[in-house]
Homo-oligomer: A and B are copies of this chain.
């Protein structure tokens, strides 16, 4: 059901500074930038093989990522697994008794359909499931 690690999400103070590390020093290709106002983040996607690193910088301190940075500092924020159907996987997770943040899929970065599972039922790991848009 989970076909790949789609990406790891990394909370950063500043996208451009983080690109200095991921693009310039580690050599990952930058493939996408987007401001996702609804989620309160500036985001960038970098390629690593068939997966991505998703850099997330908060648009304001009172956003989810802003609060994460204040509480824990910059670092790993979430892991996202790729699925063929986010709705089917969400149904399976609900049936398995997992607590969901999103009971319905919503639009994520680059036109994907995504949902988050609650870390309370995934061992403290904020876990996302992602159905990429068809062109990706």
Contacts and interface: CB of A to CB of B under 8 A. Distances in A.
Interface of A: 1-5, 7-8, 10, 12, 18, 21, 25-28, 48-51, 72-79, 81-82, 93, 96-98, 119, 121-126
B124 A48 contact: no
How many monomers of this protein are in the complex? 2
Nearest to A76: B76
A26 to B, nearest CB: 6
A49 B82 contact: yes
A123 B10 contact: yes
Nearest to A117: B26
Give 9 nearest A-B pairs by CB, closest first.
Answer: A75-B124, A4-B49, A74-B124, A76-B76, A25-B96, A5-B51, A5-B5, A74-B123, A1-B27
Contact of A125 (B27, B75, B98, B119): B75
Contacts of A77: 76
A98 to B, nearest CB: 6
Contacts of A21: 121-123
